[in-house]
Structure 1
């Protein structure tokens, strides 16, 4: 019985141990809490560290990165405006600008702008004078070539904002009426001008013009086609004389750009022409000054007008009245 009782007690004792346990609170959450506190502390330490910018160390870092990638030491950093300037130093705080300082800056800037504009205008005018000298020399060469062939009166030259314009009067000696076929005199004029034009190497524009009379009969239905065909005929002949075709352009203007207004004899003959334009290669601001520079050169080259002294008036010597004159005047 004692053995059974002992065995029973042992079972109860074992059962009592199995049913027993720790009756205190569960503290496993402390591990997670400690981990979170550690992470937050590390985060705040990193934030505090990157908020303190050392200018010297930043400059050294910038130079080191630039040398490492083989680029320039100036590395652009995008972002808002701060205290660091491009050379790594600390920028001084901006000083407020007084009204007097602002006015002086504005006046200085305006003066610099005016002087720059004046300098640009003076340089453009000087370039225009030099271009007019070149065009005048080209005109003298063309005149000399035409004069040698007895054709000096066939081309009228003038300088415009586009360059040197030679107006070839397209009368019956140059073109037949309502025709674009060159006559012998027209071919002679172009043959005389071609060597000079070929040596100049500037672009050429051939402009065909007609008078206001309508075209009647022939191959061309209107002045548009006739003017363009005459310009093309001149281009083809100059090309046969050796002038490069890629330098030339043919344009027909019809009766839209007359030299002389009205329908008088001068307008009918002078507006019927082909303009040979040696185009200037100067900038637009220089070409706009070419007519002014040409007028200035023409005025300076014109000989002064002779001073004509007034003719001396000869005084007749006094004539003494004779006795007969006294008798005619009346007497006793």
Structure 2
């Protein structure tokens, strides 16, 4: 009798691996949706997606049906009111800061204008308030001899007055800038207008700093040479206006035009 080899035939393929595989795919899909939602700023949308996922994993609405129901404009009136209130508060804080700076700058300008008028310095000093700064312009002959960078003794009183005012308003940075006309200078002390304007701004800034215990970290000096004229360099009068030192009190905020209505 022939022996027949016993053959084993598997009637069903083992498919138990499909269950964890399907679960893994579902979890990956959920992860990608959560990552996508988290990358958006809209917190309401993220909350709705999380609610949909929670419902799907707990036998509720299908996750894709939940996703279809999410809309960017699906925000309750209370949410809108909360966002508006938050924006209004931020705008009000910015408005208050701008108003404070405006009042500070106007006070400094008023005090300086009074000093200028009382001392007959209207031809030598001017003040101008802009959206960026309060600019104090001092003609060079009020501070220096021609072609020199040594501050005149009589200019020390002016430096003291400006410094005392700056010390009353410690929240603002100050730039001291030197400017020249376009006539080239070359002597034993200065090789160019760059050198002359830089030295003049630095020397006058030193006088501003030595009059009291003012915070020196607020200050910087810079020389612009002939490259930022305020008048023509074709006439003696225009060149005289271009030779100047500016003390710029820098504002910390932008004008109210940037505030959201």
TM-score of the superposed pair, with normalisation by structure 2? 0.66
Aligned position for 2:160: 191
**2:31 match: secondary structure:** coil
- Summarize deviations over 1:114-144 as a string: whole Å, max 9, x none: x9xxx9xx97788655533331112123334
Kindly state the Cα deviation for residue 262 of structure 1 after the two structures are TM-superposed. 3.7
Larger Cα Rg: Structure 1 or Structure 2? 1
Partner Cα separation in structure 1 for residue 194 and residue 256 of structure 2: 28
Check the 8 A contact 1:125/1:289 in 2, yes or no. no
Please state how far the C-alpha of 1:88 moved relative to its aligned partner.
2.2
Partner of 1:229: helix, strand, or coil? Answer: helix
What is the Cα deviation at residue 260 of structure 1? 1.3
1-structure distance, mates of 2:175, 2:224: 12
**Alpha carbons of 1:49 and 1:277: their partners in 2 closer, same or farther (altered >3 Å)?**
closer
Long gaps (5+) in structure 2: 35-48, 75-83
Please give the TM-score of this superposition, normalised by the length of structure 1.
0.54
String of CA shifts for 1:139-172, please: whole Å, max 9, x gaps: 1233345566x2653421112343110001111x
Matched, 1:205 2:180: no
Partner residue, 2:217: 246
- Paired residues, what number? 218
Q: 1:79 to 1:252 in 2, by over 3 A?
A: closer
- Alpha-carbon deviations, 1:81-124, whole Å to 9, x = none? 99x82332445748999xxxxxx99xxxxxxxxx9xxx9xx977
**What SS does the aligned partner of 2:18 have?**
helix
Q: Distance in 1 between matches of 2:101 and 2:21?
A: 65
2:28 is the alignment partner of 1:44: no
Q: Does 1:26 align with 2:5?
A: yes
The corresponding residue for 1:85 is 52
- Tell me: CA distance 1:46–1:255, structure 2 relative to 1, closer, same or farther (3 Å): closer
* Aligned mates of 1:51, 1:217 — CA distance in 2: 86
Describe the superposition over 1:167-202 as per-residue Cα deviations: whole angstroms up to 9, x where unpaired.
Answer: 01111x420111000002221110111111122111
Query: Residues 87 and 137 from structure 1, CA distance in 2 versus in 1: closer, same or farther, beyond 3 angstroms?
Result: farther
Structure 1 unpaired stretches of 5+: 1-21, 53-57, 59-75, 98-103, 106-114, 291-332
Distance 1:88 1:128, change over 3 A: same
Cα distance, 1:151–1:193 mapped onto 2, change above 3 Å = farther
Q: 1:265 aligns with which of 229, 236, 240?
A: 236
Q: Which has the higher contact order (CA 8 A, sep 6+)?
A: 2
Q: What CA distance in whole angstroms lies between the structure 1 residues aligned with 2:198 and 2:134? A: 20
Q: Is the 8 A contact 2:231 2:238 kept in 1?
A: yes
1:156 and 1:80 map into 2 onto residues whose CA distance is: 63
Picking from 136, 142, 146, the partner of 2:106 is: 136
When the two chains are superposed, the root-mean-square deviation of aligned CA atoms in Å is: 4.2
CA distance in 2, matches of 1:288, 1:260: 30
Change over 3 Å in CA distance of 1:151–1:240 after alignment to 2: farther
CA contact (8 A) 2:52 2:67 kept: no
| Counterpart for residue 229 of structure 1 | 199
